[in-house]
Amino acid sequence: MQWTALVVFILFFLLVTILGFFAARWRKGDLSNLEEWGLAGRRFGTMVTWFLVGGDIYTAYTFIAVPGLMYGAGALGFYAVPYTIVVYPIFFMILPRFWSVAKKHGYVTVSDFIQGRFDDRLLALAIALTGIVATMPYIALQLTGMQAVLAAMGIGGEWPLIVAFIILALYTYTSGLRAPAMIAVVKDLMIYITVIVAIIVIPIKLGGFGNIFHSAQTALAHAATPGSIVATPAQYSMYGTLAFGSALALFLYPHAMTGVFSADSRKTVKRNMALLPAYSFALGIIALLGFMALAAGIHTKTSNAAVPLLFLKEFPSWFSGFAFAAIAIGAIVPAAIMSIAAANLFTRNIYRAYFVKNATPQQEGRVAKIVSLVVKLGALVFIIGFPQQYAISMQQVGGILILQTLPALIFGLYTRWFHRRALLVGWLAGIAYGIYMWSTTGYKSTTYTLHLFGQAIPAYAAIWALIVNVIVTVILTLVLNAVRVSQGEDSTTATDYQLETNI
């Protein structure tokens, strides 16, 4: 048992718990109202949004899994860094339009936008269900990071996770989105401190980066499945499509859009797309921790343990406790936002759309709070009741699922040429083909090799599925438009997408 590390860990965890409950008084609003509870009244400025969205995207699983993949597979794991660089220029053009139309019409979820844009309840339901299904195992996997640091400190069993998520459930229920927003500030500062110290101290102790890369290359070359610190030509298409597909999917996740919708202005969203790449710098350093673990002689059967074991070996116990607290809090923040986003989707696009059509904002708020508890409970049962490898493979397919919402959400943001029924059938085709490709690997990998014109092309299955989705959508749109099947009514106007000021 690492007692010094554990004491420091508990102190910081208690600090964020207090902040979580105190957040209900911060920028006080009527938390019985869904828009206040689920979007904090859309009043977050540039800095708060930066911490919130950053804390939302860069999770504990990222802190553990990215260097873990570098530790186990080498250069392929570095795809996470270029995709977080590519994503911001792309969504700099897209997200301000989303914010403007959501603000104008009071949309809380992306499915609200789909309903308003295409007048199609089934398409809106499909987008909502995809978001919820893709998010659930993602919440569960935040526990992977927490499990790794707890195990490193000598704590086994499920009870610490149960206690942590009971606390999370209580202050999320009480404070809504304000809780993870306030805690994200502390979490990100702690992670930046950890990263800065790691990039200075560990290389000094290991003889510099030259020795780290040399030792990592030697260790990877002699691994059971040989790897390298440099991607091989055979990995190029897989590496590129993983980066590009992940970039396209990132802001389609409900929790990412929730952070965007909570901003106070279109300009705030633009500034954040310009400022968020700072996290990519930190992620690049975090990824290198996998090579540092190899150079430090860390031996473990599970790559998730590589970073915690590295910290325990190279840092004093008290600083290891600080770093572990940063990782654990990095699990709490996104888990809270994800559960809120899933609750928003269920409340607006299932409960209100199909059960209580005239629900008041207070009724919506009450249902969302209850659903957020159910989502967290489901995630806890998922991670405890199923093998960890199965949970991880379920998360991998989340990108395949969520990317199939891109034609409706992104294309629909700019044009109504695509027919609403074609978008629904294209979504279904992409989902079915994506799951089929995943199944051919025994549900272990999201890479699928397609044989075209005598060439074997391995790539991220989400990209292949999206191509099928788009082809089906375009062909059906041409057919349905030709026979003049109703397109429904568009409740938005061109000026709604350019709104610059608060209403």
Q: Which residues pair with 459 in a beta bridge?
A: 448
Contact 402, 134 (CB under 8 A): yes
Nearest-angstrom CA–CA distance, 180 and 109: 18
* pLDDT number for residue 330: 86
Contact 102, 320 (CB under 8 A): no
Distances (CA, A) of 239 to 61, 76, 244, 349, 394: 20, 6, 9, 36, 20
User: pLDDT per position in the chain (503 positions), as tens?
Assistant: 788 999 999 999 999 999 999 998 888 888 999 999 999 999 999 999 999 998 888 877 678 888 988 998 899 889 989 998 899 999 999 999 999 999 999 999 999 999 999 999 999 999 999 999 998 878 877 877 788 888 889 887 778 778 887 888 888 999 999 999 999 999 889 999 999 999 999 999 999 999 999 999 999 999 888 889 999 898 999 999 999 999 999 999 999 999 999 999 999 999 999 999 988 888 999 999 999 999 999 998 888 889 999 999 999 999 999 999 999 888 888 889 999 999 999 999 999 999 999 999 899 999 999 999 998 888 777 777 655 554 555 667 889 999 999 999 999 999 999 999 999 999 999 999 999 999 998 888 889 999 888 889 999 999 999 999 999 999 999 999 999 999 999 999 999 998 765 44
Contact 171, 179 (CB under 8 A): yes
Domains in the chain: ranges and CATH? 3-15+44-498 (1.20.1730.10)
Q: Which long-range contacts (CB under 8 A, 24 or more apart) does 483-487 make?
A: 485/419, 485/421, 487/118, 487/416, 487/419, 487/420
Nearest-angstrom CA–CA distance, 457 and 129: 31
Rounded to the nearest angstrom, the gap between the alpha carbon of residue 482 and the centroid of all alpha carbons in its chain is: 39
* pLDDT number for residue 319: 96
Q: Please report which residue ranges of 404-458 form alpha helices under DSSP H.
A: 406, 412-414, 420-440
* pLDDT number for residue 355: 94
Q: Which residues pair with 263 in a beta bridge?
A: 44
92: burial class by Cβ within 10 Å (0-12, 13-18, 19+)? middle
Angle among Cα 242, 417, 114 to the nearest 5 degrees reads: 70
Count of helices and strands (H, E) across the chain: 22, 2
Q: Which residues pair with 44 in a beta bridge?
A: 263
Instruction: Cite the beta strand spans of 80-145 per DSSP E.
Output: none
* pLDDT number for residue 388: 55
Q: Which residues neighbour 488 within 8 Å (Cβ) at sequence distance 6 or greater?
A: 118, 119, 120, 420
If you write DSSP's letter for every residue of 325-356 in order, what string do you get?
A: HHHHHHHHHHHHHHHHHHHHHHIIIIIIIII-
Q: What is the dihedral of CA 231, 236, 241, 242, to 10 degrees?
A: -20
Contact 2, 153 (CB under 8 A): yes
CA dihedral (472, 475, 480, 481) positive or negative:
positive
